[in-house]
Structure formats: structure tokens, C-alpha cells
Structure 1
């Protein structure tokens, strides 16, 4: 049965659908030896030979991992600058896992990694509004009014952010620890939100996807997730396309 090429690449764990589109546009995908660059291309994975960079697709067992990313690691699978990569921390897993979303080089905390492009795409899709929770240590002592501005939505890069959930955790010696929950994923969004109220983020850590919390997982370590863990990610609506793995 034919399927859209992006979906096939995601199922094979090559990348999320968004990244798969980029691979297609770059001419890195072939069907039966022919380069395809059209977004509407379809194929039958049971009949056609599909390759990425000359390597045939392999449909592996799906695995889902929660990593406590340390600062100093890039959230990519290759880096021309030779910096440490999050994949280095999963070297004992004999499968190619990609990160779901990203964390900045200097941000720590919860990072989902998987070879299931369908799940990765669902987590990132705005339709399902998957919450991401962070603990931000910021300079100074932001007022209640400033924190309410973050809750209501604030303009960054000319665009208003969606409402956030903000909770003051601690004030201590010129810094403040704030928990903030958002479901958007703009680049450096949390840092820019606090910058917009004139409080610089000194340290940032993601603590949860939905209700899947990092907990006591040590920095630089990971744990393999089960179905109950995955269900905690989607606090509003479980995408139909992945209900089978969450059944």
C-alpha cells in the first residue's frame, strides 16, 4: 500500500516529518534508484526500494528515551564544530535515535529521543499543544505584574507568545527561580520571554513534557520509556496516528 514518502521516512526513524521533507528537497531520497524531490511523492515500503543517502530504509523496533541533557551538548546528530552531541550519551543503544525538538547548548534537562518519527511529529505539532515545563533561574526579582505579563502573552521577535503558566518557586540573593510552562517551541523562547521583562536567564532546565517529569534522573543519564510514560506526554488529546502504540 502506497504512503506519502515523508510518513515512510518518519516510520523508519530517519527523522521527523518536517526533517524528512528537508531530506527530500535536498535530493537525498531515492525510490527504486530514482531521486525524488516532490512533496507529494508516494511509495510502497513493502514493494519499493527506498534509500536515504544510498542506504536502504530499515524499519527498526521503536524505542523512546528520556535523557537528562547536560549543558555543553548540542541537540543534533552531527556537528561540524566537533562539539559533544546528545547522541554521544546514548552510545550503548544500537539504534539511531533523533531528538524530539531541541534544547540550546547551554540549557539542561528533559530531552526525548526516539526512532519513531510519527510520535516525534505529534509531540511537536501545535495541534496537540504538548506542554513543556522549565525551571528558569533569572537575575533580579521580577514583580508579580511582570510574571503576569508572561502568563498573558508577551511580544518577542514581533510575535505574541501564547499564554503560559508561571509559578514563583524561590527568591534568593539577587536571583529568582521561576517555573514556566509553554506549549510553543520557538528558538530560545523562554530566554527571550524573560529578556522582554528585563530579567536575564542565568540557568535554564526543562523538567517535563506534559506530565512526564524528569524527576530524579541524574544529569547525563537516560531511561527507556514505556507506554504509560508516553501517555503522560499528551495531556489534552492523543493523536489518532499513534493511538496504537499507546493502547
Structure 2
């Protein structure tokens, strides 16, 4: 799928052909990261630093490995309405999945900061003709005026799959995001009975830590996929690694 100019410029570094196959290096963990009650701001800072130290070849290799895992994910094979994200700040890039999804007849949506709402998201249809702008965080998203048309967006509950970026995750499937609470607020309804999408976090393997502090408002995920494994919360030692 061809990217609109704003997205192509923002993602240019993610689309070079892979050149190296060596493993991603895991840096020694700070003691701040090892403790389950570590300060979440410190965790975010250290994990973003770790993610930022990946080289361009390591990022490309991780992206390819992630896509291979996603294409074998049973939930994704059945899905028709999928939300993903345009990567920012070193987040692992899954946008090459768009062409594969479209060939299967699936529809792709992007998160948009919802106007006149506190830290919540719209999900707007994304294709070659979707106009993109930078939001207040400098992240590319569909133009609000484009997304304001109801026929171009889908309610969060009506999505089949939501692929969301993570700052960190642990072996139990806990996760930590950027701290704005956008996904937590937008998907708070998943705690209740009723239609809901499958929530799947994406991350580089180097963002994994032994344990993360969990807050009451953190929305649980159905799975976390990295370039090395698939973590399914509640399945101890039951991770898919292929």
C-alpha cells in the first residue's frame, strides 16, 4: 500500500531492504526495571532509551520477524476490520501488513485523537487516499475533517482487531504505554460484556522486562507480539515462539 506523502516521509527509514540478520542485542536491565513496583515514568524513559538504541538493520530485521508472526496469528487471519498505527519514537513498524490485509479483503483503520474528548480515540479508515496531518504530538493521523464523516470511521467496539504500540511488556502479558491513557479510555468498555475487539500489543523484544507494575485502569490485552515471541496473558510458559 502506497503511503501518502506525510507518512512516506515520516516512515522512510522503515522501508529499506533488510541487510543484516544478527540478533537484536538486549542491554542489561537497570535495577529500576527489575522491580515490579518501579516508577512508571522511569520505566518509560529507560525502555524508550533502550528502543532508541536499536540500529536501522536491527529495526528492519525485527519488523520482518514481527510481520511473519502476525500473518500466522489466528485472530488476524479471521479479522476484517483492523486498527493499527503509524510508528513514532522508534515503535516497531507493522504498516507493511496493510497490503496483505487488503489482499484478503480486510479494512484498515488508524487511531485519531478524538475532537472535543479527553484522551480518547476515533478509528478512521486508512488507504492510499487518506489525507494525513500531524497531531499535537507530531504523530501522523488522518485529517480530523476527513474522519468526521461517519462513513469513514468505525466505533471502537465494532473493530475486530486493534494492534497497538507498547513502551514495555512483561512475561505475564502486562504492558505499559506512553502514559496518556488514550487506549485505556477508548477501550474501557472491554471490561464489560458485549461486542469488543481483540487487543494485541506490538513491541520490540528489547522492550520486555521481568515484571511491570499494573494499575487498576490498565486495559488487559489478549496478546502481545514481538519479533521473538507471542505472549498470551494467563498462559504461563505457553507462549508461541514461531
More helix by share: 2
TM range (shorter): under 0.3
Larger Rg: 1
More strand by share: 1
